[in-house]
A and B are shown apart, each in its own frame.
Chain A
Amino acid sequence: MKFLLALLAGFPLLAQQAAQPTPDASASSPTPTGAEWFTGSIDLGYRFTSIGGDNDVYRSVVNLGQGPRLLGLDFTIADPKKRLFDRLNVRAYNWGGDPYNTVHVDASKQGIYDFNFEYRDLAYFNLLPSFADPLLGTGVVLDEDSYFARRRMSDFNLDLLPGHHVIPFLAYGRDSGEGTGISTFYSDINQYPIADHTFDKTDNYRGGVRLEFNRFHVTLEQGGTTLREDQDAYNSTTNYGNNLQPYFGQNLYLSSLDQAYGISGSSIYTKALFTANPVPWLDVSGQFLYSEPKTNVNYTQFDTGNLVLQSAILFYTGEQALGFAAGKQPHTTGNIGFQLRPFKRVRILESWMTDRMHTSAAGLFTDMILQPVSSADTILTPLSSLLALNYNQEQVDILVDVTRKLTLHGGYRYTWGDAQTGDALVAGPGQESSEMRQQTGIGGANFRATQKLSANVDFEGTASDHAYFRTSLYNYQRMRARARYQVNNALSLQAVFTLLRNENPLTGINYSFLSRQNSLSASWTPSKKITVLGEYTRSTLRSDIGYLEPEFLSPETSLYRDNAHSATSLVDVALPGYAKLTPRLAFGGSLFISSGSRPTTFYQPMVRLTVPLYKNIAWKSEYRYYGYGELFYLYEGFRAHLLQTGLTISR
């Protein structure tokens, strides 16, 4: 660490001989010259980390590690002869061990094709003892509900451009994930933390054609997905679980477990989109979307130990379960809307939408209870369920340009729908149903006093007489106001205010929710040498809702508070130069301080120094600090110092 600091301090001295500043990106000759066919930069470095406090929480929140890194690669090849492509652009960031690796490739050849590819590899680590460790209070940490997984996403898109009007396209995407973690095996009375392994991948294939003309456009797309998912959970040692209390004098434990899911799925989907402006005063658009995902599942489980079936107070030594099920979910969405301009200053926007989804599934679950002294009991459970949703929405908005500086808009939205859910495919006591009906008034104004001063405000207020859930939006008001003022060429200011207030006064619910956010931001660039950006947000959230305590059904109130200060800043300063080179120093970062139901502090200050060393070579160093603390869970805090240093080579 000391050596590094010395290195950092000494580097500017070594850079006395360095060369020219970053090449000016301003436009020059339209035809790529030999020197211009390749432009780009590569950013290589090494990161040192020093972490104090809870390393698992650091990995859950930040997860940046130590070692050499390809921090950034960005280059463009413009082929002057336009052979395979006119232009190829590649961007890659954070390779070499970082948890977020990305690559993006764009290639195009005018009149032939447009291609892009994207790949991301994201690592997710989550191990928070306070989140799900029932025995934490007794000093036993079981790491339940923790995982370490990677998700990888790839997307290929190819648009063929044989003409101006007909554009066929093909695309392929894959989303896959794999990881290990600690899950829970639930058995009556007790639950046992167990190791698990998950793997899933979804392939998405699609293709279609776009027809684009002056007066209308149609897109027809047909696609499909395939899903494979495997989940395994296992245990091979004596596991006493979360409940250490004897049950009817006996200790409960799990000796072995082998549990596996095998899931396969597929879906077809269809998209038809159109836009048209048949006459200059009318724009029309609409879409029809249909998908039908399906899944098939096989489940096996074999476990041994001293376990109990609570409903019969039956102790047993083993259990074997087999299950299979199939589900499907046809889902149809339709929409049509138009924009009408009856007069120069008036626009009318109207749209209708319907969304209908019907999930149904059926299967069979066989559970064989193995007892030490009697024959096995087999329990057959048919599985079936239903979830149906119908959602409809109609909205009309009228926008009036009262003057060139003021636009007012108002409107009305009516949403209605119904839902059914239950454990049976046929109507009966196993099913629940609910409706949703909301009437919303919409209003707003957009005021442009000058080019330097503008403000806009949006408001909607809704009255409901049905909602699906107790916490659903019911009688609510939502507002957003924003003002921007450019004081002079150097300084601009912005203020944003948002509000959401939701009330459900029904007996037993008494839901009252209020969320407010006030944000101020400023950008100050007094000269090319200094840029100052700053933003501060104060947010408050209050939620009170009645609920029933399950054991005695006594009415209680759930209170949630979240009052937070957030700020971000960046100061970028050009330091005194030498040999036409300009080092830059940037510092700033962010802070988050909250009080209420989970008081938390999270600080992320940073300092970055960029020193040009030679023509197109710069030395970059960055120090970043992460400080995290929770008032209720002090043991989960961490403090991390990260120092990153490396070279940026550009052309």
Chain B
Amino acid sequence: MPSNRVLAILLLCWPAGAQTPAAPAAPAPASSTAATYVGSETCQPCHEDIYNALLKSPHNLINKEKWRNFATRACEACHGPGSKHADSADASAIRNPAKLSADESSQICLKCHLNQPTHIGRIESSHAKNEVACVACHSVHAHGPNGLVPRKMAAINELCAGCHTEVWAQFQRPYKHRLPEGAMSCVDCHNPHGSIFAVNAQAYAANETGCFRCHGNLRGPFTFEHAPVRLEGCGACHEPHGSANPRMLIRAEVRYLCLECHANLPNTAAAVKNPPALGGVPPAFHDLYSPQFQNCTVCHMKIHGSYVNQELLR
């Protein structure tokens, strides 16, 4: 791992070279004299709709928060000091987050929201790495029962599908989780703010896979585990977004799904360098031409794990 060592040294040295840190958010436009705070009520006459909406939104809390020094300055908490804009009515004299880059606008939000549990997985989040700004999903000035982001499951799904169209297409397949019906939403399984688990997956009971939130009967621990469930997750056999195959399986016939893994001869290790070692061959009485053996789960019905039988038969 020489590259890692170089990187570690580089990382340790960075702070020394970073004595002039970047401002976390883009500053308001520079000019000869700095703009000052004027208070939200100064904004009201010209931006009455937004002002009134803000008063009813969760962000109205900013107007009352003294500990962050934004009390009575909810508008300027994000837009920066507004005295010059108020004097000149010049749009360029105030920060407009809508015109900033995704990272710059998100930094404005993170001034207050960074140190909250919601953002515990932000560093690992693919949304953050792909420059998806907070305002791509959250409407900062919105008001009403839904707060800043849709709460109805159908509305959440519509929002996510706006970018993830290819995923939403999978939900048009016959066997899928019930998202199009509005019974589930994308955030039941994925954390849009980021997660340390793959595909921004939600976790259940600290660090167990989020699938167990609804499928608690498959959680175990079983006396005899089916290893892929634990090592690769439910996605090893199921396509959770939707499939043309019953039970959302990734193969049309169960026998192929099983045999693709269960095809390692005991002597494989000697014959092949670095073999995938898990998954042996079924005994020879499995005559695949007989319908009796074409769906493995007819007999191996405890396929997710069994409490009493090593072959997952009961």
Cβ of A644 to closest chain B Cβ, rounded Å: 13
Q: Which of A442-456 contact B (CB under 8 A)?
A: 444, 446, 448, 451, 456
A89 to B163, CA, bound (A): 28
Instruction: Please report whether the interface of chain A is mostly helix, strand, loop or mixed according to DSSP.
Output: strand
Q: Which of A461-484 contact B (CB under 8 A)?
A: 465-472, 482
A126 to B246, CA, bound (A): 9
A513 to B22, CA, bound (A): 44
Q: Looking at the complex, which one of A104, A135, A397 makes contact with B151 (CB distance below 8 Å)?
A: A104
Q: Is A136 an interface residue when CB atoms closer than 8 A count as contact? A: yes
A344-B22 CB under 8 A given contacts A153-B214, A519-B169: yes
Please name all residues of chain B whose beta carbon is closer than 8 Å to the beta carbon of A242 when the two chains form the complex.
Answer: 292, 298
Cβ of A445 to closest chain B Cβ, rounded Å: 10
Establish whether residues A551 and B172, one from each chain, have CB atoms under 8 Å apart when the complex forms. no
Establish whether residues B295 and A592, one from each chain, have CB atoms under 8 Å apart when the complex forms. no
Establish whether residues B307 and A507, one from each chain, have CB atoms under 8 Å apart when the complex forms. no
Q: Is A572 an interface residue when CB atoms closer than 8 A count as contact? A: no
Q: Which of B258-314 contact A (CB under 8 A)?
A: 259-265, 268, 271-288, 290-292, 294-295, 297-299, 301, 307-308, 310, 313-314
A518 to B165, CA, bound (A): 9
A545 to B260, CA, bound (A): 7
Establish whether residues B222 and A361, one from each chain, have CB atoms under 8 Å apart when the complex forms. yes
Which chain B residue lies CB-closest to A295? B221
Q: Is B29 an interface residue when CB atoms closer than 8 A count as contact? A: no
Please name all residues of chain A whose beta carbon is closer than 8 Å to the beta carbon of B91 when the two chains form the complex.
Answer: none
Establish whether residues B301 and A145, one from each chain, have CB atoms under 8 Å apart when the complex forms. yes
Question: What is the 8 Å Cβ interface bit string for chain B, positions 50-87, against chain A (1 contact, 0 not)?
Answer: 10110110000100010110000000000000000000
A482 to B246, CA, bound (A): 31
Q: Looking at the complex, which one of A184, A212, A335, A562 makes contact with B115 (CB distance below 8 Å)?
A: A212
Establish whether residues A539 and B166, one from each chain, have CB atoms under 8 Å apart when the complex forms. yes
Establish whether residues B144 and A550, one from each chain, have CB atoms under 8 Å apart when the complex forms. no
Number of interface residues, chain B, beta carbon within 8 A: 138
Establish whether residues A535 and B168, one from each chain, have CB atoms under 8 Å apart when the complex forms. yes
Instruction: Please report whether the interface of chain B is mostly helix, strand, loop or mixed according to DSSP.
Output: loop
Q: Is B90 an interface residue when CB atoms closer than 8 A count as contact? A: no
Please name all residues of chain A whose beta carbon is closer than 8 Å to the beta carbon of B21 when the two chains form the complex.
Answer: 279-281, 341-342
A60 to B294, CA, bound (A): 22
Q: Which of B96-148 contact A (CB under 8 A)?
A: 98-99, 101-103, 114-117, 119-124, 126, 129-131, 143-145
Q: Is A325 an interface residue when CB atoms closer than 8 A count as contact? A: yes
| Number of A-B residue pairs having CB atoms within 8 Å of each other in the complex | 457
A539-B216 CB under 8 A given contacts A289-B203, A550-B283: no
A552-B284 CB under 8 A given contacts A175-B214, A214-B115, A287-B120: yes
Please name all residues of chain B whose beta carbon is closer than 8 Å to the beta carbon of A597 when the two chains form the complex.
Answer: 251-253
Establish whether residues A468 and B145, one from each chain, have CB atoms under 8 Å apart when the complex forms. no
Q: Is A275 an interface residue when CB atoms closer than 8 A count as contact? A: yes
Please name all residues of chain B whose beta carbon is closer than 8 Å to the beta carbon of A350 when the two chains form the complex.
Answer: 7, 11
Cβ of B275 to closest chain A Cβ, rounded Å: 7
Q: Looking at the complex, which one of A110, A271, A567 makes contact with B61 (CB distance below 8 Å)?
A: A110
Interface centre among B164, B223, B246, B247 (most CB of A within 10 A): B223
A119 to B22, CA, bound (A): 46
Cβ of A461 to closest chain B Cβ, rounded Å: 16
Which chain A residue lies CB-closest to B13? A342
Which chain B residue lies CB-closest to A497? B166
A270-B261 CB under 8 A given contacts A27-B49, A153-B214, A219-B117: no
Q: Is A582 an interface residue when CB atoms closer than 8 A count as contact? A: no
Which chain A residue lies CB-closest to B196? A335
Establish whether residues B55 and A551, one from each chain, have CB atoms under 8 Å apart when the complex forms. no
A212 to B277, CA, bound (A): 47
Please name all residues of chain A whose beta carbon is closer than 8 Å to the beta carbon of B130 when the two chains form the complex.
Answer: 444, 446, 456, 458
Establish whether residues B281 and A419, one from each chain, have CB atoms under 8 Å apart when the complex forms. no
Establish whether residues B263 and A470, one from each chain, have CB atoms under 8 Å apart when the complex forms. yes
Question: What is the 8 Å Cβ interface bit string for chain A, positions 596-638, against chain B (1 contact, 0 not)?
Answer: 0110101010000000000000000000000010000000000
A558 to B282, CA, bound (A): 16
A164 to B66, CA, bound (A): 10
A420 to B69, CA, bound (A): 55
A333-B120 CB under 8 A given contacts A399-B129, A548-B265: no
Establish whether residues B263 and A508, one from each chain, have CB atoms under 8 Å apart when the complex forms. yes
Which chain B residue lies CB-closest to A101? B183
Cβ of A35 to closest chain B Cβ, rounded Å: 15
Establish whether residues B263 and A548, one from each chain, have CB atoms under 8 Å apart when the complex forms. yes
Which chain B residue lies CB-closest to A565? B169
Establish whether residues B119 and A275, one from each chain, have CB atoms under 8 Å apart when the complex forms. yes
Establish whether residues A134 and B291, one from each chain, have CB atoms under 8 Å apart when the complex forms. yes
Establish whether residues B230 and A223, one from each chain, have CB atoms under 8 Å apart when the complex forms. no
A216-B231 CB under 8 A given contacts A135-B291, A469-B261, A550-B284: no
Q: Looking at the complex, which one of A419, A546, A566, A598 makes contact with B278 (CB distance below 8 Å)?
A: A419
Establish whether residues B120 and A468, one from each chain, have CB atoms under 8 Å apart when the complex forms. no
Establish whether residues A287 and B196, one from each chain, have CB atoms under 8 Å apart when the complex forms. yes
Establish whether residues A341 and B169, one from each chain, have CB atoms under 8 Å apart when the complex forms. no
A434-B276 CB under 8 A given contacts A359-B221, A496-B166: yes
Apart from A132-B297, A280-B21, A508-B271, what 10 extra A-B contacts exist at CB < 8 Å? A100-B182, A191-B298, A273-B120, A281-B21, A340-B18, A361-B223, A407-B131, A458-B126, A482-B163, A568-B172
Q: Which 9 A-B pairs have the closest CB atoms?
A: A100-B183, A537-B169, A30-B55, A281-B21, A202-B216, A344-B22, A217-B115, A329-B221, A27-B52
19 contacts between A and B (CB under 8 A): A61-B175, A134-B290, A134-B292, A214-B67, A219-B120, A270-B206, A275-B116, A287-B120, A351-B124, A353-B196, A359-B222, A387-B225, A468-B227, A506-B273, A506-B276, A517-B166, A539-B166, A545-B260, A551-B285
